[in-house]
Amino acid sequence: MIQWRNTLKGALQGGEQQIGLWCSLANTISTEVVAGAGFDWLLLDMEHSPNDLRDVYSQLQVMTGESTQPMVRVPSADPIVIKRILDAGAQSLLIPNIDDAEQARIAVAATRYAPRGVRGFSQSPRAARFGRIPDYHATCEAELLVAVQVESRHALDNLEQIAAVDGVDCVFIGPGDLSMSLGYLGQQNHPEIVRIIEETIQRIVRTGKIAGILTANEDLARRYIAAGTRLTAIGSDAGLLARASEALAARFKDDA
């Protein structure tokens, strides 16, 4: 029997903490390596990395059979891009730059077939295992995880309305753009930004939706988990490679 249930969504709905890693190297080998590292989920980033459709498709393939689940951040709420990524087999999406409830509704509609949305119909895409899941089109919506990213002062003003949109499963905080919007460019670990983020996490939790965030700062990651995040990314493949390679080189350079 083909296993196609979204175990990431199931774990989150069950109240489990899900620890993830950002993947921006756009490489099947590096993604395959970190997919076996023990993370609950990997974010395949299309917004701030050179990942395109073929890159994401191949990375979804190398993750097949792993316990680590893929999530894709699309570059925008463009329904054509979302349609193609869903057809490629992604079941969990992060949609950036959502500022109000109407934008959230448009984003969700791109993930739904008519009459609930505008997703185009394909008879047997990879998502349907090339036609081997006969009831895919009727049942896939229940297996989709839709996370919308709030990254601006305007989004914070509309937070509860965004979270209330039917089909939004998770509200994911983008600390970099949010700190910039609030006047703290490049200072996402500033105490005032941390305070606002913790408050925002608590607001999301009160709506009954899942709260998510990315931070490479381990102390802040633990604080944000304590505040209520359940979809928590704690670093990136590029960051791990850069910092570990720098540290290794420095150890030997210092001895020379």
CA distance 66 to 159: 34
- CA angle 149–141–47, rounded 5-degree value: 30
CA distance 12 to 18: 7
From the candidates 48, 137, 154, 190, give the one annotated as an active-site residue: 48
Beta-carbon count within 10 A of 11 CB: 17
Residues 6+ apart with CB under 8 A from 29: none
Neighbouring-strand partners of residue 146? 93
Is 190 part of the annotated catalytic residue set? Answer: no
Residues 6+ apart with CB under 8 A from 105: 165
The H or E element spanning position 150 is: strand 145-150
3-state secondary structure of 243: helix
Cα distances (angstroms) measured from residue 225 to each of 8, 114, 202: 17, 37, 11
Q: For the chain, how big is the Rg over CA atoms in Å?
A: 18
- Catalytic residue set: 48
